[in-house]
Amino acid sequence: MLPPVFGVLFDGLAYGMLLFLLSVGQSVTLGMMNFINLAHCSFAMLGGYVTVVLMSSYGWPFFATLPCAFIAAALVSVGFERAFFRRLYRASDLDQVLLTIGIVFISVAVAAYIFGTEQRPLQLPAYLRSSLTFMGVRFAVYRLILIGLALLITLALVLGLDYTRFGARVRAAVDNERMARGLGIDVDRTFAITFALGSGLAGLGGALAIEIIGLDPSFALTYLVYVLIVVSVGGLGSISGSFAAAIVLGISDVAGKYYIPQLGAFLIYLVMIGLLMWRPLGLIGRR
């Protein structure tokens, strides 16, 4: 028999991975492209609604809806990127904030109009809701899947952005746009693709998260704070930073709530403040 601390560690890890999946898109748009995209959770919400509607109205299996959630959020974001965001890459942070918060407001109203204001629960098959018992500790299947997917996505992104030509182009375009253009890099296209990738990941994260955190039109605002916490603690420009931050935050939150429930509400903020005062650029920050 394993002592309960293993169960707590596992739940913390799983909660951290949930936060990571919800935030990883933001660490692409904010972290890589330096664009303050407060509409991140709007794209996550879109992914969530795509999954729920495909499952409840068209009877699709859960896993088949996930690519659609990614693609839908990516496509919609490209539309927005071409129409609005593109003009603001060089604008002040504050204008970016104003634009994207405006889009959040619009998305909340549109979601309420189309999908209604009520909670839209996922109805997952029983095997995804079961748990395995290993040496006296219960491991929920769905949480195991979250952890696995988070690892896969991290691996793919780190490899794809750090070690490929595309990744190099993105970094070049962000660091010095004129120079990058001079070198023949299609900056517009690079940004559009990166933005689509970030938003697609948001959509996927949303689709995966709603089983645990629910889905209604206020989703676009409710979880924004968590996303910002993960990305800032992780450090801009670093996917593995977000990954590490999510693990630290998830485990400290769950362990804190378990061992010192009086501190439960404060813990995630205290940990964030402590980490940022220690490392203002984030755990693995580059800028």
Partner 1 sequence: MALTEGTANPRLYLQAQTRWRPIEIAFWLATLLPYALFPDYLSLASQIAIAGLFALSLDLILGYAGIVSLGHAAFFGIGAYTAGLVSKYGWGEPLTGLAIAAVAAGLIGYATSFVICRFRHLALIMLTLGFGLLLEELANSAGWLTGGVDGLQGIHTWKLFGYLPFDLYGRTAYAYALAVLFVLFVFARRLIHSPFGLSLRGIRENFVRMPAIGAPSRAHIRTIYTIAAAMAGIAGALLAQTTETVSLESLGFERSAEVVVMLVLGGAGRLYGGLVGVIVYMVARDQFSGIEPQYWYFWIGVLLVGVVTFLPNGILGGAAKLMSRRSRS
Partner 2 sequence: MKRLLLAGVLAFVPSLFAAAGGAEDTVKIGVILPYSGQFADTATQMDDGIKLYLKQHGDKLGGKNVELIRKDTGGIAPPVAKRLAQELVTRDNVDILAGFALTPNALAAADVSAEAKKFMVDMNAATAIVTTKSPYMVRVSFTVPQLNQTLGTWAEKHGLKKAYTMVTDYGPGIDAEAAFQKGFKEAGGDIVGSLRMAVQNPDFTAYVQRAKDLNPQGIFVMIPGGAQPGAFGKALAERGIDPRTIEVMGQMEIADEHALASMGDIALGIITAGHYDYNHHSKLNEEFVKAYNEDFKRNPDFFSVGGYDGMHLIDAALQKSGGKKDGESLVDAAKGLSWESPRGQISIDPQTRDVVQTVYIRKVEKVGGHLVNVEIAAVADVKDPYKAAMKQ
3 state DSSP class of 133: strand
Which residues ranging from 117 to 136 are in contact with partner 1 (CB under 8 A)? 117
Helix (H) or strand (E) holding 249: helix 239-259
Mask: binding to partner 2, 224-263, rule CB under 8 A, as x and -? --x--------------------------xxxxxx--xx-
Q: Which stretch binds partner 1 (CB under 8 A): 108-116, 130-138, 172-180, 250-258?
A: 108-116
Minimum gap (Å) between residue 286 Cβ and partner 1 = 12
The binder of partner 1 chosen from 82, 87, 129, 138 (CB under 8 A): 87
Q: Does 260 bind partner 1 (CB under 8 A)?
A: no
Residue with tokens 């098959």: 125
Q: Does 104 bind partner 1 (CB under 8 A)?
A: yes
3 state DSSP class of 267: helix
Residue 131 phi, psi (nearest 5): -140, 155
Minimum gap (Å) between residue 128 Cβ and partner 2 = 10
> H-type helices in the chain, by residue range?
4-29, 40-58, 62-83, 93-115, 126-129, 141-162, 165-175, 177-182, 187-213, 219-222, 224-234, 239-259, 267-278
| Sign of the alpha-carbon dihedral angle for 259, 262, 268, 271 | negative
The binder of partner 2 chosen from 217, 235, 237, 241 (CB under 8 A): 217
The binder of partner 2 chosen from 211, 227, 238, 275 (CB under 8 A): 211
DSSP, residue by residue, 106-119: HHHHHHHHHH-SS-
The binder of partner 1 chosen from 236, 244, 247, 283 (CB under 8 A): 236
Residues 6+ apart with CB under 8 A from 125: 61, 62
The binder of partner 1 chosen from 8, 19, 153, 272 (CB under 8 A): 272
| Structure-block tokens of residue 161 | 């952005």
How many CB atoms are located within 10 Å of the residue 275 CB? 20
The binder of partner 1 chosen from 113, 134, 163, 259 (CB under 8 A): 113
- Could you list the residues that contact partner 2 (CB under 8 A)? 4, 7-8, 11-12, 15, 18, 108-109, 112, 116-119, 121-124, 126, 129, 131, 138, 140, 143, 211-218, 222-223, 226, 253-258, 261-262, 264-265
